Structure 1
Amino acid sequence: MTDFSIRPERAAEAVARHIETLILEGSLAPDEGLLPERDLAARLNVSRPTLRDGLRILQDRGLLTGEKGRGLRVAALGRAAITDPLIALLADHPEVEDDYLDFRDVVESHAAGLAALRATELDRDRIAAALDAIEAAHAAANPADEAEADAALHQAIYEASHNLVLLQIMRALSGNLRSNVARNRGRMFTLHRIRDHLRDQHRAIGLAILSGDPDAARSAAHAHLAYVRKAARDIAESQAHDETARRRQSGGGLGQRR
């Protein structure tokens, strides 16, 4: 546990600044509840009136929200941008998925390289645990668990990059814009040959980071996203062909087929 002690002068601002830092670095996540007031004051070594003043500063800045009887929570930061009509429009068009995966290729390849250089022991433990979870879900042939472990690995890599802008942007994009990709990745994990490739690719990324090899990590991440992009295209093309065949069979629902 971090030993955090605040000097009396400008103590409320120091409380606010400390909690702001925890939010920015991702230690406190959007929608996460804070400890009860008594515990928070003890943890920060300040009086409860000082704590309340500091928390009020953060509420005024829109970083904390509270409901009667539920205590304070970190605001749903980044969600407002994701509910923008433009983002919703993009999310409704499947063709944007390829552009999104292209974006992820650029960002995640760089993140993997940074993680190989910057990961702490705790970061490496999280990445190793995510790799173990992927292996376990793969062995159990559980597509849902495998997809969840996949997402956990990528999240661990963002955090291990120690690039706060990258981390917050990728967290914010975990909503509507990623929904089509998530659906396709769910379908990918039901196909045995693709599941094997994804497992091997995740292992290659993780092991490169754990060995501290940024070039190998970037290369493995790029190969993975290029594969996912191609697999998503192939799935979309196959579905389009199936839909066309069904329409021909039924006259598009408008003809009188005998």
Structure 2
Amino acid sequence: MDFKPIKAKKIYEEIIEQIKVMITRGELNPGDKILPERELAEKLQVGRAAVREAYRALEAIGIIEIRPGEGTFVREMGSKPMTDIMSLAVITGKDTLFELLELRKIVEVEAAGLAALRRTEDHLGEMKRWLNLMKEEIDQGSLGDVPDTKFHYAITNAACNSLLTRTMNSISETIKQEMKTILTNMYRTPGTPQQLYEQHKRIFEEIASGNEMKARTAMFYHLDRAEKILKKEMTTFECKLP
């Protein structure tokens, strides 16, 4: 029998868990105002510091929004039904996030293969534009994360499949909204932006050459490496929380 050690949760983690459960059950909805720190601390019979840390963590991962002078609110998740469902799924736990990343592999690897077969010169020009901008930003010390995302959109568009494009939009928007802090940490890891640029360049070259299988392989390698980095950074982010 494989038993795992039981880890005692900190008070702020218990508060986070309760708020997440209330959101998934529909007891708290996007736009709803949450109790102020003092009131929630009294209700839960805990110190205000624990509530403050819980709110800080929830805000960092995009679940709540603290508006100075107004209060604390459950963050609006977006207007598209697909995005709303995925956003709600993400806040239920990190395992769901990695399921989304697995889905991204499925979608984008195939998109890269189709793009190699169907891309036009205009599609290649769009990809090249974002690739060049990514390198330019990285060379200037910036993250290059925005042209990175745009590059992936351009590849999906080059696949010429509207459902692939819609699926990609839903996944990318969710990751951007819910994991903004962690993604920023990922791109700030020394050497990571340069590595990601080289991987993007390889993907572009294979698509431009029309090599369907190599385009798929290059995309899979890139997403697999990015997932490993994200997992590492997520662990670091969790450890940094008080």
TM-score range, shorter chain: 0.5 to 0.7
The question of 1:237 aligning with 2:235 is answered yes
Q: In structure 2, what is the Cα distance between the partners aligned to 1:232 and 1:160? A: 27
What RMSD over aligned residues (CA atoms) do the two structures have, in Å? 2.0
User: Which residue does the alignment assign to 1:61?
Assistant: none
Structure 2: which 5+ residue stretches go unaligned? 1-77
Aligned 1:15-94 pairs, distance under 5 A: 79-84=80-85, 87-92=86-91, 93-94=93-94
Question: Greater CA radius of gyration, 1 or 2?
Answer: 1
Question: How many Å apart are 1:176 and its aligned residue?
Answer: 3.6
Normalised to the residue count of structure 1, the TM-score between the two structures is: 0.59
Does structure 1 retain, via aligned residues, the 8 Å contact 2:104–2:168?
A: no
Q: In structure 2, what is the Cα distance between the partners aligned to 1:188 and 1:237? A: 11
- Structure 1 residues 83 and 218, CA, compared in 2 at 3 Å: closer, same or farther? same
The residue type paired with residue 100 of structure 1 is: L
Normalised to the residue count of structure 2, the TM-score between the two structures is: 0.63
User: Which residue does the alignment assign to 2:40?
Assistant: none
Task: Give me the identity figure in percent.
Answer: 24
Name segments (4+ residues, structure 1) moved above 6 Å: none
Question: How many Å apart are 1:163 and its aligned residue?
Answer: 1.1
The count of residues paired between Structure 1 and Structure 2 equals 164
Does structure 2 retain, via aligned residues, the 8 Å contact 1:205–1:217?
A: yes
Does structure 2 retain, via aligned residues, the 8 Å contact 1:94–1:180?
A: no
Question: How many Å apart are 1:238 and its aligned residue?
Answer: 1.9
Does structure 2 retain, via aligned residues, the 8 Å contact 1:97–1:181?
A: no
Match of 2:148 among 136, 150, 171: 150
- Structure 1 residues 114 and 233, CA, compared in 2 at 3 Å: closer, same or farther? same
Q: In structure 1, what is the Cα distance between the partners aligned to 2:181 and 2:215? A: 26
Q: In structure 2, what is the Cα distance between the partners aligned to 1:227 and 1:111? A: 18
Q: In structure 2, what is the Cα distance between the partners aligned to 1:112 and 1:176? A: 21
Q: In structure 2, what is the Cα distance between the partners aligned to 1:194 and 1:208? A: 21
Q: In structure 1, what is the Cα distance between the partners aligned to 2:193 and 2:205? A: 18
- Structure 1 residues 107 and 176, CA, compared in 2 at 3 Å: closer, same or farther? closer
Does structure 2 retain, via aligned residues, the 8 Å contact 1:112–1:209?
A: yes
User: Which residue does the alignment assign to 1:170?
Assistant: 168
